[in-house]
Structure 1
């Protein structure tokens, strides 16, 4: 199997996203991670009808961030996203935020699950359920 590059999207830091110290507000880092997660899920087909028909939705259960370098207005960043599936009801989607010069600014680790929208409970085997709903899980994860 050939290795593929991790998904990435580009964002420019806007002035209104800054805190009183003049750098990117801590909550916006999480928003940037969410942008990458949603764009990757959309690319893989998770936001199309198959998930809706299966009455499933991805839910964020936990988010952890490590701040490495500050970001300021006008900085352009690449945000990566890569899913990691294991056993059980949860999976991870990890993101890194890098300046375009390669400087690592933040690492975000999120734990997610797939919720059965009728039962309001997490389902087993989220990878398998995503695939059954027509999601291209190979696009979600570089380890697929």
Structure 2
């Protein structure tokens, strides 16, 4: 997803406020889920929803007003109740601006507990994990 920094997203130093990077990540997560066939209404109709359990940002290079940048996601399932959805924010010249790492679960909205197998729950609601792009995160 390509975005552009708006004037109200910057702080007094003239670069994007730290909290805004989380909003960029949320836009990419929601957009990525939708592109992969997972629609919010379908999830809630199935009494489920993704929940953020942890998020962190590594800031690499600043973004300033008017900068355009790409935001990508990589979905990683493991063997437990949680999964990762990592986001890479890259300037158009290829410079990495920020890396976001998120740990999520899928909550059963009636039982108020995490599903044991988040991949199975999301796929049952329409997710095609192959649609989300795979990116290589710098070390």
TM-score, scaled relative to structure 1: 0.88
Shifted more, 129-138 versus 114-123: the winner is 129-138
| Alignment match of 1:122 (pick from 111, 114, 120) | 114
What is the 5 A alignment of 1:59-74? 59-74=51-66
Cα distance in structure 2, aligned partners of 1:15 and 1:48: 30
Structure 1 residue ranges without an equivalent (≥5): 1-8
Q: Find 1:109's aligned residue among 101, 104, 110.
A: 101
Q: Runs ≥4 in structure 1, deviation > 6 angstroms?
A: none
> Which sits farther off after the overlay, 50-59 or 22-31?
50-59
**Are residue 39 (structure 1) and residue 31 (structure 2) matched?**
yes
Gaps of at least 5 residues in structure 2 are none
Cα deviations by residue, 1:50-94 (Å, 9 ceiling, x for unpaired): 322321101111101000001100100001111000011000000
Root mean square deviation, CA, Å: 1.5
Q: Which residue of 2 aligns with 1:138?
A: 130
SS of residue paired to 1:52: helix
Q: Match of 1:64, SS?
A: strand
| 1:59 partner SS | strand
| 21-30 or 43-52, which deviates more | 43-52
CA contact (8 A) 2:6 2:66 kept: yes
Q: Give the aligned length.
A: 135
Per the normalisation by structure 2, the TM-score is 0.91
Structure 2 match to 1:11: 3
Offset at 1:49?
Answer: 4.4
Alignment of structure 1 residues 47-66 onto 2, 5 Å:
47-66=39-58
Distance 1:79 1:23 in 2: 17
